[in-house]
Structure 1
């Protein structure tokens, strides 16, 4: 019995499409932190399982323009001083800190690590 060309093509292409979709890194995009009108810092394509620092003085507004969620920390090295909780920021959202609690000084990513190590 002959196999139709369409069915044969689908059987050959489907595994390739499935494999390619699993190799995308969803952390692509920018996390942008600002402090007032004078300071702006952006982190392009943040790496999973790594702490990313904002400037030593910190930022008071963060925009998450990536495909992954992040956690904002009040301390350096993704730590939080007592009484200053971290903040969860979902993808494509922005947040402004309550100044009494301090500025954000670092952030970490949330979610699954990419299937291919970042270069």
Structure 2
């Protein structure tokens, strides 16, 4: 009967260990943001659940190279001025700002994607 107990213990513990080693607070990939043809900003592996700022003057084009979706905000600290809504950007897509609504100044991540490799 000893084999059954050992097997039962391993079948319970091993998946928990795998799950714990795969967890990460970062979102794997890169966000590439530009303003015109003269400015490019790249943010790699942003921390999940945190607001991330773009350059102080803002950006007008964003490419989402993360494994998860993001929300682009027109205000600082992931806020949006009245009448200037946020924009949802799914993974692997690129979008450009509507000039009349203003530039994007920050973004936040949405949901949990596949785990990032620990650094």
Q: Tell me which interval the TM-score lies in, with the shorter structure as reference length.
A: 0.7 to 0.9
Runs of 5+ unmatched residues, structure 1: none
Cα distance, 1:105 vs structure 2: 0.3
Aligned mates of 1:47, 1:12 — CA distance in 2? 33
Aligned to 1:37: 37
- Aligned to 1:77, the other structure's residue is in SS state helix
CA contact (8 A) 2:27 2:113 kept: no
Q: What's the RMSD between the two structures over aligned residues?
A: 2.9
8 Å CA contact 2:78–2:108 kept in 1: the answer is: yes
> Runs ≥4 in structure 1, deviation > 4 angstroms?
11-15
Secondary structure of 1:100's match?
helix
| Number of corresponding residues | 112
Compared with structure 1, are the counterparts of its residues 113 and 50 closer, same or farther at alpha carbon in structure 2 (3 Å cutoff)?
Answer: farther
Q: Give, in angstroms, the shift of residue 41 of structure 1.
A: 0.5
Instruction: State the TM-score, normalized to the length of structure 2.
Output: 0.77
The runs of 5 or more residues in structure 2 that have no matched partner are none
Q: So what's the TM-score if we normalise by structure 1? A: 0.77
Note closer, same or farther for the CA distance 1:15–1:92 as it changes in structure 2 (3 Å cut).
Answer: farther
